[in-house]
Structure 1
Amino acid sequence: MAIAVTALFLSCTSGPQDRKVTRETYFDIPAYFQGEIARLTQEKPVVDKTVVKDSLSEAKEIQVADWENELSSFASIDLNKPAYAGILKKDSTANKVRITSSDPKIDITAVEIEYGDSGEPVAFHIQRNIQNSLYETHETLYYARNKKYSLEKHQSVLILGDKYYHIKGLFKNQTAPEKSPGH
């Protein structure tokens, strides 16, 4: 009888604080890009940079002075935000991981991470949609380590109309850009 009472007592004392809810964790994109920012700041690569705003375009060969600002859109993508818990879906192949969401309440539509033979990420393709009562933004980010990066943004702002931005950087250590759809 004493054993039964002890067992009953012990089973009643474990409260919710003892139960841990596990949720899937995803690749730490902000940490990766902080590492890239530090590396690029130190290496100071030359970049062929093209900026398009609506119908105006400008291209220059530059050394980016502020990589933190240049890659801030990439570094801000955090798939491990509590708001994304249970909403994102993950699909993997041998060298790619694709994370998607069809929930209009969050900004992430799709993130694709491509891995090289060493298991390290070599490319990111990110799609975001942001909608509220004042504006709607569709953003596509692409980053291929030591090759190129791009940010394309279509924005419709109530009263102000539509805006289009496209920023593309090609690292000069490449002889020619690899062709990939939409980049």
Structure 2
Amino acid sequence: MRKLLFISLLLAGCTNSETTQSSKIYFDLAGLVNQQIASLTQKQPLAHKSLLLEEKTEAINTTKIDWKKEFELFLQADLNKQSYQLSYDVAEGPQKLSYTLKKGESLPVKLLVIVFDEKERPIHIEALLQTKNYLYESEKHLQMNLENNQVINYQIIGWQELFVGKRKNFKVNGILVNK
């Protein structure tokens, strides 16, 4: 009986500590994006996708998109990583939440903004990611618009410059035609 009580208390203690460790201190962007990935992978909606790389443009209409790859940068913009805790200033306004990297911090996510509708559902997400080291420098502006908790369009604009090359600009637009 004592062993059973001890094991029960031990398990309850482990559960509480796991909950504390996995609790989100910032908006759960990864949860939202993973939900979108699962939904879009299941539904396979028709999407109009255009890509601009330097001077070359390509546009396609397709239902065959690897949504995990497509939204990888949005997953990278999630702030709920242990090394990111306490690194952001938070500003809350009516239907808007902004996270700005604190001065002196050197994380890649510089800004994350979430706009909500009247039902407190995210309708617009914006992020700025910047990386700079001795090999390369890059910047990416991400935007995602949602309606009724479903992505309706997204955009990624950015550039990358290797230390021995010139800056390469790119732009990806995606519009979901039939959600």
* TM-score of the two chains, using structure 2 as the length reference: 0.79
Measured in 1, the distance between the counterparts of 2:174 and 2:122 equals 19
Q: Which runs of 5+ in 1 are unaligned?
A: 1-19, 175-183
| Aligned residue identity for 1:127 | L
Residue 97 of structure 1 and its aligned partner are, at CA, apart by 0.3
Asked if 1:73 is matched to 2:73, the reply is yes
- Contact 2:77 / 2:129 at 8 angstroms: preserved in 1? no
Q: Which 10-residue stretch deviates more, 80-89 or 147-156? A: 80-89
Counterparts of residues 5-154 of structure 1 (less than 5 Å): 25-101=25-101, 102-103=103-104, 105-145=106-146, 146-154=151-159
Q: What CA deviation, in whole Å up to 9, does each residue of 1:108-133 have, x standing for no partner?
A: 11100011121111221000110101
Residue 103 of structure 1 and its aligned partner are, at CA, apart by 3.8
Highest CA radius of gyration, 1 or 2?
1
Q: Secondary structure at the match of 1:137?
A: strand
Q: Secondary structure at the match of 1:133?
A: coil
Q: What CA deviation, in whole Å up to 9, does each residue of 1:137-170 have, x standing for no partner?
A: 1110111123210111211111122111111101
In percent, how many aligned pairs have the same letter?
23
Measured in 1, the distance between the counterparts of 2:164 and 2:105 equals 23
Asked if 1:155 is matched to 2:160, the reply is yes
Q: Secondary structure at the match of 1:83?
A: helix
Q: Secondary structure at the match of 1:161?
A: coil
Measured in 1, the distance between the counterparts of 2:68 and 2:104 equals 29
Number of residue equivalences: 153
Q: What CA deviation, in whole Å up to 9, does each residue of 1:16-37 have, x standing for no partner?
A: xxxx9xx981011111111000
The structure carrying a bigger helix percent of its residues is 2
- Contact 1:143 / 1:149 at 8 angstroms: preserved in 2? yes
In the superposition, relative to structure 1, how do residues 131 and 32 fare at CA in structure 2: closer, same or farther (>3 Å)? Answer: same
- Contact 2:100 / 2:112 at 8 angstroms: preserved in 1? yes
Q: Secondary structure at the match of 1:45?
A: coil
Q: Which runs of 5+ in 2 are unaligned?
A: 1-19
CA RMSD of aligned residues (A): 2.0
Q: Secondary structure at the match of 2:138?
A: strand
Measured in 2, the distance between the counterparts of 1:29 and 1:139 equals 17
**Runs ≥4 in structure 1, deviation > 3 angstroms?**
none
* TM-score of the two chains, using structure 1 as the length reference: 0.77
Residue 78 of structure 1 and its aligned partner are, at CA, apart by 2.3
- Contact 2:44 / 2:64 at 8 angstroms: preserved in 1? yes
Q: Secondary structure at the match of 1:64?
A: coil
Q: Secondary structure at the match of 1:41?
A: helix
